[in-house]
Amino acid sequence: MDEVFTMVIPVFLPHAGCTVRCIYCHQGYITGIGEKGVQERIDRALRGRAEPCEVGLFGGNMFGVEPADLERLFSCFAPYRGIIQGFRLSTKPVPLRDETIDILKRNGVRFIELGIPTFNDVILAALNRAHTAGDLFQAFDRLQGEGFRLALQFMVGLPGETMGDIEETAENMVRLRPEYIRIYPLVILRNTPLYRLYETGEFAPIAFDEALERAALIYRGAREEGIDVVNVGLTDNEMVRGMVAGGFYHPAFGSLVQSRIFRDALGSAIGQLKGSGEARVILHRNDIPLLVGYRRENLKYFASLGIDLSWDPSGAERGSFDVIRGRERARGKMIDRKE
Ligand code: SF4
């Protein structure tokens, strides 16, 4: 198995190293844990484990942790070094300190996930990220040169964001070629500055469907280039649902994005066939949920276009399909672009 997908044991360190707070963030809510001691948190995650694993340090800005504190943090893992094969962490691209890089290398950090919600500096400033797109490029080059393996974390549905910003994100992703990406839709949590903007009407989110389209554009761009997408959307255990006031939280956001991509690709393949009315799709059986869509949305969508879909789960390859109408047949791949 590729080591990108090694078993990762997450250790959440809410707001560790965050000297300023991004306007949408409240890690107490996102991680669902309180202010317990770090050692206790580490013990809880690793005690009794025998199998080798990687540890993920998530929930804060690890580059912002003072070097002495970072050393202390890694020393808390001493009892478990026998099973820890390496670390990965998420961070903003700043501050990029030589000392920090040295500590991370000495302690076996292999993957660094850099958060860059958008490459638009005006939006980054409005989000109070306290870094620019230029900082990201600089950090990416330096860290790659130091031998770290890199991932990027993007967001969709940000205040002031346009489709042009999403296209820029996709272009920069292709240029940088991270090993994998994560895509997070913006979620409005209570007791955040973003929530206040939302309450006063200064920020009105785009339509849910539009957020899906934006996530789909980045997702498709990544897959076309062979870049892994390890998750789309916040998972349920990262979220206290009661704290969500708006935005694009959906327990199946990732599946919604994938089935939107499937729908677009299928629509494109059907467009190559003559005639009208019913069409039969031959696909891998595990792709049937993507064809059908959440609450049968894709079937309803095609029905609204006068296309009655049926399917045959004898396809051999996930993400590929054939569509047949009468004597006509077209082949498609999930990542094919919409015409
Ligand atoms: S850097 Fe991450 S953890 Fe820190 S405030 Fe911003 S989003 Fe939250």
Q: 3-class SS at 249?
A: coil
Q: Whose CA is nearest to atom 6 of ligand 1?
A: 22
Q: Are 45 and 13 a contacting pair, CB within 8 Å?
A: no
Average pLDDT over residues 71-77: 94
**Best residue among 27, 91, 194 to mutate for probing ligand 1, ranked by most atoms within 8 Å of CB:** 27
**Residue closest to 270 by CA, chosen among 297, 319, 310, 218:** 310
Q: Name beta bridge partners: 151.
A: 113, 180
For a pLDDT cut of 90, what percent of the chain falls above it? 82
Enumerate domains of the chain plus CATH numbers: 3-251 (3.20.20.70), 265-333 (no CATH)
Q: Whose CA is nearest to atom 3 of ligand 1?
A: 60
Is the per-residue pLDDT at 333 higher than 80? yes
Q: What is the spatial distance between Cα 305 and Cα 245, in angstroms, rounded to a whole number? A: 34
User: Where does the pLDDT of residue 339 fall: very low under 50, low under 70, confident under 90, or very high at 90 and above?
Assistant: very low
Considering the chain, what is the average pLDDT of its residues?
92
The pocket around ligand 1, CB under 6 angstroms, is made up of 15, 18, 21-22, 25, 27, 60-61, 92
User: Where does the pLDDT of residue 30 fall: very low under 50, low under 70, confident under 90, or very high at 90 and above?
Assistant: low
**Best residue among 58, 61, 153, 239 to mutate for probing ligand 1, ranked by most atoms within 8 Å of CB:** 61
pLDDT at 26: 83
What tokens were used for 308?
A: 């009655």
Cα 44 to chain center, whole Å? 26
Average pLDDT over residues 188-208: 95
Q: Are 272 and 242 a contacting pair, CB within 8 Å?
A: no
CA–CA distances in Å: residue 118 to residues 132, 156, 234: 9, 8, 18
Q: Name beta bridge partners: 18.
A: none
Kindly provide the residue ranges of all beta strands, DSSP E only, lying in 71-213, ordered along the sequence. 84-91, 109-115, 149-156, 180-185, 187-189
Average pLDDT over residues 298-316: 96
Q: Whose CA is nearest to atom 2 of ligand 1?
A: 60
Question: How many beta carbons lie within 10 A of that of residue 130, not counting itself?
Answer: 18
